[in-house]
């Protein structure tokens, strides 16, 4: 896959720009001429990523969103192709329009890097790849972590180091804008922006240091696989079995979950139909059921463990990184307030 990012030191031309607050909307309007813009917007008391019809809808002061921006690369529901009695298969045409995810936070950028590995390496997923190729990331460093965020513990935030096309940091009077890829450089060229003064990098670190002090949750990653493997049988799992509602919300909102189910929708003529996929979740009873009805994870504690072990143990050997980026969505969304950071600190006896 040809989505290349480089560390900014590798660039010789100026990579730092100043984007005054007053120029944000004109910048967005310029980008909108050639790209579909997707960014955080208000939905009730929450935020969601949505296509921006007007730059004014963008809410960069969000802390988190209901679903992660993953949803524009790996759609919650997606028709893969339609099929017909005469064996004809018609693939769904992939959107050719280039899109920008604007204001994506560092944790979610890291999550997309994990999805890139999952969907492009061993079993390339043409549906994901087609969208990913046309997607640029204009990231936003976090200055106000939310109450459930713990990216700091995982090195996935609040500061983003790579994986972006452009990176914004809110310096109060405007944004520091850093270029992270050739495609990102094309984006800044639509505006006549002044290079940022050197001191902007110092200001950026101040903003981030301030953010770093605000984290309320943490997850100690030291020897996580060891800790979890030692504690596969522990009273806490039984307790969680009684608590957890097996509702599936925690995985539905997770930016690194990649599981899906495939369902055929038959037309009423019974001669044609569509093959569709939708997000699936290992928290659901039917997930590990196989032909003839056997279920490998019938008990709820086995499913609670599957989610947590997959995120904190099983991703590492496959993808070289933990499967949790500390976005905190699973904590926020859980009606029972089951908290992955709390589970780990209890296992550590803290």
Partner 1 sequence: MSKPRVAVYKMSSCAGCQLEIINLEPILLDLLGAVDLSYFVMARRENEPGPYDIGLVEGAITCGEEIERLKKARQECHLLVALGSCACYGGLPSIKNWQPQRVVENRVYDNLAAIHSTTAYGIDYYVPVDAYLKGCPVSREELLDFIKSTLLGVRPYLRPHSVCVECKLHENVCLFVTEKAICLGPVTTAGCGALCPSRGKPCDGCRGPANDANAVSLARTMAAYGLHSQDIVRYFRKFAGMTSEFSKGAEAV
Chosen from partner 1, ligand SF4, none, partner binding at 154 (C-beta under 5 to 8 Å by type): none
Question: Which residues within the stretch 272-291 sit at the binding site for partner 1 (CB under 8 A)?
Answer: 278-279, 281, 284-286
Residue 249 binds partner 1 (CB under 8 A) = yes
**Per-residue contact flags (x/-) with ligand SF4 for residues 319 to 338, judged by CB under 6 A:** -----xxxxxxx--xxxx-x
Q: Do 337 and 157 touch, CB atoms closer than 8 A?
A: no
Instruction: Quote the CA–CA distance of 4 and 10 in Å, as a whole number.
Output: 13
Q: In the bound complex, what is the minimum distance in angstroms from residue 147's beta carbon to partner 1? A: 13
Long-range contacts of 331-338 (CB under 8 A, 24+ apart): 331/148, 331/217, 332/64, 332/146, 332/148, 332/253, 333/66, 333/249, 333/250, 333/252, 333/253, 334/249, 334/250, 335/245, 335/247, 335/249, 336/243, 336/244, 336/245, 338/240, 338/243, 338/244, 338/250, 338/304
Q: How many Cβ atoms from other residues are within 10 Å of residue 313's Cβ? A: 18
Chosen from ligand SF4, partner 1, none, partner binding at 338 (C-beta under 5 to 8 Å by type): ligand SF4
CB proximity list for 54: less than 8 A, separation 6 or greater: none
**Per-residue contact flags (x/-) with partner 1 for residues 73 to 102, judged by CB under 8 A:** ---xx-------------------------
Residue 89 binds ligand SF4 (CB under 6 A) = no
Residue 242 binds partner 1 (CB under 8 A) = yes
Choice between 204 and 311, CB closer to ligand SF4: 311
Residue 132 binds ligand SF4 (CB under 6 A) = no
Residue 265 binds partner 1 (CB under 8 A) = yes
Chosen from ligand SF4, partner 1, none, partner binding at 282 (C-beta under 5 to 8 Å by type): ligand SF4
3-class DSSP state of 296: coil
Task: Find out whether the peptide bond into 56 is cis, omega within 30 degrees of 0.
Answer: no
Question: Which residues within the stretch 240-279 sit at the binding site for ligand SF4 (CB under 6 A)?
Answer: 244-251, 253-259
Residues contributing to the site for ligand SF4 (CB under 6 A): 244-251, 253-259, 281-283, 306-307, 310-311, 324-330, 333-336, 338, 340
């Amino acid at each position: 896959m040809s989505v290349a990012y480089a560390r900014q030191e590798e660039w010789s031309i100026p990579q730092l720009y100043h984007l005054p607050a007053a120029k944000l909307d004109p910048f967005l309007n310029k980008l909108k001429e050639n790209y579909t813009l997707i960014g955080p917007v208000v939905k009730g008391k929450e935020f969601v990523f949505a296509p921006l019809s007007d730059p004014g809808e963008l809410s960069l002061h969000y802390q988190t969103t209901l679903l992660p921006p993953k949803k524009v690369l790996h759609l919650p529901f997606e028709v893969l192709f339609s099929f017909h009695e005469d064996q004809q298969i018609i693939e769904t045409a992939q959107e050719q329009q280039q899109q920008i995810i604007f204001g994506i936070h560092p944790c979610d950028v890291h999550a997309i890097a994990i999805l890139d590995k999952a969907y492009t390496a061993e079993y390339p997923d043409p549906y994901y790849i087609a969208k990913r190729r046309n997607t640029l990331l204009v990231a936003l460093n976090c200055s106000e972590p939310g109450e459930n965020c713990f990216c700091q513990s995982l090195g996935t935030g609040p500061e983003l180091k790579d994986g972006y096309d452009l990176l914004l940091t809110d310096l109060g009077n405007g944004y520091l804008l850093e270029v992270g890829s050739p495609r990102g450089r094309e984006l800044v060229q639509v505006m006549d922006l002044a290079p940022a003064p050197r001191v902007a990098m110092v200001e950026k670190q101040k903003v981030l240091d301030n953010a770093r002090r605000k984290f309320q949750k943490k997850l100690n990653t030291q020897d996580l696989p060891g800790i979890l493997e030692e504690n596969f049988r522990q009273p806490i799992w039984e307790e969680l079995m009684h608590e957890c509602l097996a509702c599936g919300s925690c995985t539905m909102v997770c930016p690194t979950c990649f599981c899906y189910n495939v369902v055929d929708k038959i037309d009423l003529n019974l001669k044609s139909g569509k093959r569709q996929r939708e997000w699936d979740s290992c928290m659901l009873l039917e997930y590990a059921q196989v032909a003839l009805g056997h279920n490998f994870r019938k008990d709820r504690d086995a499913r609670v463990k599957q989610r947590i072990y997959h995120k904190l143990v099983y991703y590492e050997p496959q993808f070289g990184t933990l499967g949790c980026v500390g976005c905190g969505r699973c904590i926020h969304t859980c009606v029972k307030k089951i908290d992955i950071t709390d589970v780990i600190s209890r296992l550590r006896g803290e």
